[in-house]
């Protein structure tokens, strides 16, 4: 197996034993990027020089540790030191462009790191580059990126999901070992499902949002994408924790997530929400998820049918609340302090209007207008306030369900990955791809997507949902399933482009 296809856990052991160097691991990842990136387009920005310099520093520290100096303790306390990580391009990185997938911020280079970036750097992890995403995280396919779409490594004619599509595709293809994403309505879990990797959306407030480009501030959460559950737990360990720079950050001691793995599911009460297995879910996806439930049941879990009756209203409520928050958050991108500024405007108001009109894509404009309308005088009570009341009902549904069970199991997505261009001109069809993930964000719950098989050669995601701050239970259940079932070990390779025909054949 190539270094770029190994898990972070495996690489961590190899690095600690000095069987391989961080420089070798980083070079292996860049070799894969050089071979596949032209086809996949996972990244907006690569930092080859910075990554190799950071890798050399990690190797130097380990060399000191081998000689019995202070470096030994540091090496043992930083198990992910030397592991390459891809970063979604809405997380601020000092000295490295942060575009949020938008041409408005195409040339913006932040003067500071997001808190999660500070944490991964302190852990010795190597930032490979910034991954492609839907513009300002508004999309479900990475097709609304201001630069280019990303392709799914399992089938390059298909989307990788969104908005963290670049991060998910990079991990699936070996263009990164780990990745960071953000999840507002499913933007970690949905692409994880489509790309056959693991994606975790933590409890709201568990991971700092400081330095994250805001879309819907009451929903947004940073989280890990990885090849397996163990790697996910290791990265969450680095990311989680209180941050005084984030007013929504939860002040509590961070558990040992890696230690939570192991054990069985005997006696675990698993709830199956009937609303998530409706005829709207593809039959192949439903069968794969129910087969995964059978694995848990055979392990001693107690399966119980439950109901989340307000699920059908969650999508509509989300697409009133999130755009309302987006219309406020994106007001800062005015072309005055930083970002794109239209040339030749006769006054400030015209410049402001032109700058946003010229640099924002159609999906961003659509959501700004929808949110502004919902918040406008005379419509606030009818739309925004009513949507917030529905949000409360959705949360109460989960509270009632968790009074009967410990974990909920659903499909992550209603279908497998769809084709590029298939839904881009149908916003409602695109929004429906997040129907299984959005309610979790509305209730501020943790959830994880784990691969649970293939349908038509494409990955299917199993979504596990737990009560607030029950990431240990979530990871333990996901890990049990992953070990009991046959995990997806296939690292897909993009189909080669057809060789051009000689001119003589073309003329025929």
- The span from the CA of 37 to the CA of 497, in Å, is 13
Residue 163 annotated as catalytic: yes
CB 205 within 8 A of CB 170: no
- The span from the CA of 191 to the CA of 266, in Å, is 30
CB proximity list for 473: less than 8 A, separation 6 or greater? 260, 406, 407, 466
- The span from the CA of 42 to the CA of 161, in Å, is 12
Q: Which of 163, 182, 208, 249 is catalytic?
A: 163
- The span from the CA of 269 to the CA of 441, in Å, is 22
Q: Which of 21, 27, 88, 327 is catalytic?
A: 88
Q: Which residues of 26-43 are buried (b: 16+ CB within 10 A; e: fewer)?
A: bbbbbebbeebbebbbbb
Which DSSP helix (H) or strand (E) runs through 222?
strand 222-226
DSSP string, 162-216: SSSHHHHHHHHHTS-SEEEEE-SSSTTHHHHHHHT-EEEEPPTTSB--TTBPPSS
End-to-end CA distance of the chain: 45
CB 135 within 8 A of CB 144: yes
User: Which are the catalytic amino acids?
Assistant: 88, 163, 187
């Amino acid at each position: 197996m190539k270094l770029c296809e190994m898990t972070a856990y495996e690489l961590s052991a190899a690095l600690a034993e000095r069987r391989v160097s961080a420089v070798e691991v980083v070079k292996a990842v860049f070799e894969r990027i050089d071979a596949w990136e032209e086809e996949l387009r996972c990244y907006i920005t690569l930092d080859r020089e910075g990554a190799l310099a950071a890798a050399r520093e990690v190797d130097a520290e380990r060399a000191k540790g081998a000689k019995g100096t202070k470096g030994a303790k540091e090496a043992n306390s930083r198990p992910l030191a030397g592991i390459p990580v891809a970063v979604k391009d809405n997380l601020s990185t000092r000295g490295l462009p942060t575009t949020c997938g938008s041409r408005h911020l195409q040339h913006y280079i932040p003067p500071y790191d997001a808190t999660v970036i500070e944490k991964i750097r302190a852990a010795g992890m190597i930032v490979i580059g910034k991954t492609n995403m839907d513009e300002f995280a508004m999309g479900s396919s990475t097709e609304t990126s201001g630069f280019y779409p990303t392709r799914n490594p399992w089938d390059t004619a298909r989307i990788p999901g969104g908005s963290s599509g670049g991060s998910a595709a990079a991990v699936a293809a070996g263009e990164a070992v780990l990745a960071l994403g953000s999840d507002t309505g499913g933007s970690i879990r949905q692409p994880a499902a489509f790309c056959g990797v693991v994606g975790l959306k933590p409890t709201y407030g568990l991971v700092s949002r400081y330095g994250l480009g805001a879309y819907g501030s009451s929903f947004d959460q940073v989280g890990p994408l990885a090849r397996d559950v163990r790697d996910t737990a290791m990265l969450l360990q680095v990311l989680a924790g209180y941050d005084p720079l984030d007013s929504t950050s939860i002040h509590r001691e961070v558990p040992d997530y890696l230690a939570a793995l192991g054990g069985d599911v005997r006696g675990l009460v698993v709830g199956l929400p009937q609303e998530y297995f409706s005829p709207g879910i593809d039959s192949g996806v439903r069968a794969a998820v129910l087969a995964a439930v059978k694995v848990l049941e055979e392990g001693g879990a107690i399966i119980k049918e439950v109901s989340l009756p307000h699920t059908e209203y969650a999508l509509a409520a989300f697409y009133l609340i999130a755009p309302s928050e987006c219309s406020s958050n994106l007001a800062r991108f005015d072309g005055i302090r930083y970002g794109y500024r239209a040339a030749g405007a006769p006054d400030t108001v015209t410049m402001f209007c032109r700058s946003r009109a010229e640099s924002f894509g159609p999906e961003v404009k659509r959501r700004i207008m929808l949110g502004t309308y919902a918040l406008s005088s005379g419509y606030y009570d009818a739309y925004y306030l009513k949507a917030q009341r529905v949000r409360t009902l959705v949360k109460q549904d989960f509270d009632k369900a968790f009074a009967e069970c410990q974990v909920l199991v659903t499909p992550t997505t209603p279908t497998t990955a769809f084709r590029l261009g298939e839904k881009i001109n149908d916003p409602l069809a695109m929004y429906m791809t997040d129907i299984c993930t959005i309610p979790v964000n509305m209730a501020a719950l943790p959830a994880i997507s784990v691969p649970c098989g293939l349908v038509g050669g494409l990955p299917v995601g199993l979504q596990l949902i737990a009560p607030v701050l029950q990431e240990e239970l979530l990871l333990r259940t996901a890990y049990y399933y992953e070990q009991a079932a046959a995990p997806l070990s296939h690292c897909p390779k993009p189909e080669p482009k057809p060789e051009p025909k000689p001119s003589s054949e073309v003329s025929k």
